[in-house]
Amino acid sequence: MDVSEILDNLQPPAKRRRENDNGVDLANLNTANADAAEILAALENDDSQEEIVDEMTVKRIVLQLEKKTLRNREMRIKHADDPQKFMESEVELNNAIQEMHCITIQPDLYGIVVEVGAVSSLIQLLAHENTDIISAVLNLIQELTDENTISEGTESAMELIGALIQGRIAENMVRQSFERLNEGVKDEADAVNNALTIIDNILDPMPQFAVNCVEEGLFKWLLYRACKKSAFDANKMYSSELLALILQLTEAARQQLCVDQNGMDMILTALAYYKRRDPGSPDENEHMENLFGALCASLLHAPNRTKFLEGEGIQLMNLMLKEKKQSRQSALKVLSHATNGVEGKVLCEKFIEIFGLRTLFPLFMRTPSKHKRKDTSADEHEENVCSIIVSLFRYADLDSKQRLILKFVEQEQEKVDRAIELYLKYHRRLVSWERKNTGRPSTSQDDDEEFYVQRMDAGLYTLQLASQILAEVCVGANACLKRASKLLRMKTKNGNVLDHLKPVLEGLIAHLAEEAHEERTRVTRLLEALGGMVDVLEQKPQS
């Protein structure tokens, strides 16, 4: 019999019979058969109390852990070739770890735990030869860092978090615990899950810990675990969740993604599994969405877009749009991220080159039903499609831009009709929101900026996108301008396209960052060109 079997078979000692003054056995009292008076009498006469956990209790428990750890280490060294002789010390060590669970309900005492060096002792035990001991320690730390406890933000709780970070817990998990734990064994897979929960619990109050996760090797481990070609399980999902979170939290992760390995290829390969098949469960769907989230976050680092292009990421996303599986909406979001900004220019050109317009415009013309969109709202769908089209207009070369404009001219300018529909939808929504929120006092520039952000969330952002699309096509083709003017006259009584778009686009210009010189120039020239086209259409002299 080895040590693991000893621990597995270990049973807690039988509870002492507790009887009240009338001889009623409290431990074995059958409430189903006893009458109310008997139960009440038993409770009133029960004078047993749980041990009070205070500073002295913590110090005693930690000291006991230290002693049992030291004895176990000595016995293992002394009887390295005869496990039978150190089994007892292993059982005692496990019991000492279990006893520490009473501290988890007293977060105000965590400072004492740190002060007496218990955190360092627990982290050292993550390298123990017995995986049952590792599992017990991870379970304990997971309870100590429980999100409900840590979220209270007590000073003692944050001391514990700080000590875990200082003890390089992420590195010890990767280099010690994960090397020993076999996820093919349920208990050890649960231990890995506890480890991931600990990381999650620390990241919540300390997002800067994401940098430690990168530096200590956990980020790399998560990347491999999330993208590994294996059966789906809970740890795979949790790994992808933390992978996406860390990529969102720190530039260090985005930079590291393709340094030691081509992390972009790994993510794209993992996602390619879903190009023609849907996830098999809600949890697996969440895993897929986590991978898409990781991909979107990684594209914030410009060099990763080159890797995305080289890995045929554009082709994969376009194929997902065609296949109409659950991955379609997330692929649309990725394309929105990939084509945005100056770094997206080459990706815009590639998208047009692979005939992506044929796939994109059916999605522009019709928002999929809620059933087909799953977790994506109609607003998100329309925002992503419009964002891609604006990026294509912004960065496409002259030939590609002409192909774009022809898309709006064909089929009797039906796509202009759709652009007007979206413009009016978000304009009405924004006006309605502003009526409810206008008049609030503004005491600082920060208040004004906050109000602008709220307007963006209320529909202004998509309104700006639809306005840019309309401006581009009206300037690019007189037929589109005439169609837009006719529709606006029918629906608003004012057919002057410039009157509608100018306030929106001037507001966009006013809120561009100071360094956005090219974008400011582009939108300004677009407005000037539109003004000239409208003047000609309405046969007015240009001012």
82 shares a domain with 26: no
Question: What pLDDT is attached to residue 319?
Answer: 97
pLDDT at residue 442 in the model = 53
If DSSP codes are grouped into helix, strand and coil, which group holds residue 19? strand
Q: Quote the CA–CA distance of 260 and 241 in Å, as a whole number.
A: 21
**Residue 355, Ramachandran bin (φ over 0: left; ψ between -120 and 50: alpha; else beta):** left
Count: domains in the chain: 3
Task: Indicate whether 74 belongs to any domain.
Answer: yes
User: CA nearest 460: which of 494, 500, 429, 417?
Assistant: 429
Given this model, what pLDDT does residue 31 score? 46
Tell whether 348 and 235 lie within a shared domain. yes
Q: Are residues 37 and 88 in the same domain?
A: no
33 with 102, same domain? no
**Enclosing domain of residue 60:** 55-392
**Residue 345's domain is classified under what CATH number?**
1.25.10.10
Residue 295 main-chain phi, psi, to 5 deg:
-65, -45
Beta bridge partners of residue 25, listed in sequence order: 19
Length of the chain: 543
pLDDT at 149: 82
Question: Is position 127 within any domain?
Answer: yes
Q: Which residue has the tokens 């087909």?
A: 372
Backbone angles phi, psi at 307, to 5 degrees: -65, -35
Place of tokens 């100056």: 342
Kindly give the confidence (pLDDT) of every residue in the chain, 543 residues in length, as a single tens digit, with 9 standing for 90 and above: 454 554 555 444 444 444 444 445 544 555 455 555 665 565 455 544 556 888 999 999 999 999 999 999 999 899 888 888 888 999 999 999 999 999 998 899 999 999 999 999 999 999 999 999 999 999 999 999 998 888 766 889 999 999 999 999 999 999 999 999 999 999 999 999 999 999 999 999 999 999 999 999 999 999 999 999 999 999 999 999 999 999 999 999 999 999 878 899 999 999 999 999 999 999 999 999 999 999 999 999 999 999 999 999 999 999 999 998 999 999 999 999 999 999 999 999 999 999 999 999 999 999 887 765 566 789 999 999 999 999 999 999 999 999 999 999 999 999 999 999 999 999 999 999 999 987 665 555 666 788 899 999 999 999 999 999 999 999 999 999 999 999 999 999 999 999 999 999 999 999 998 889 999 999 999 999 999 998 888 775 444
Both 364 and 470 in one domain: the answer is: no
Tokens 């016995």 correspond to what residue? 75
Residues 421 and 282 both lie in one domain: no
The pLDDT of residue 14 is 43
User: What is the reported pLDDT for 69?
Assistant: 94
Answer yes or no: is 336 within a domain: yes
Question: Do the domain assignments include residue 342?
Answer: yes
The pLDDT value given to residue 318: 98
Question: pTM score, two decimals?
Answer: 0.87
Question: What does the pLDDT read at residue 449?
Answer: 84
Query: Do 155 and 199 have their domain in common?
Result: yes
End-to-end Cα spacing for the chain: 96
Side chain identity, residue 237: M
168 domain residue, yes or no: yes
Shared domain check, 92 and 227: yes
Amino acid, single-letter form, for residue 373: R
Same domain, 366 and 316: yes
Question: 19 pairs with which residues across the strands?
Answer: 25
Q: Is 543 inside a domain boundary? A: no
Q: Residue 543's pLDDT is what?
A: 42
285 and 138, same structural domain? yes
Q: Is residue 312 a part of any domain in this protein?
A: yes
Please tell me whether residues 193 and 342 are part of one structural domain: yes
Q: Are residues 191 and 304 in the same domain?
A: yes
The runs of H, that is alpha helices, within 146-233 are: 147-150, 155-166, 169-172, 178-180, 186-203, 209-215, 218-227
Scored b (16 or more CB within 10 A) or e, 414-447 reads: ebbbbbbebbbbbbebbeebbeeeeeeeeeeeee
| Any domain includes 118 | yes
- Longest Cα–Cα distance in the chain: 107
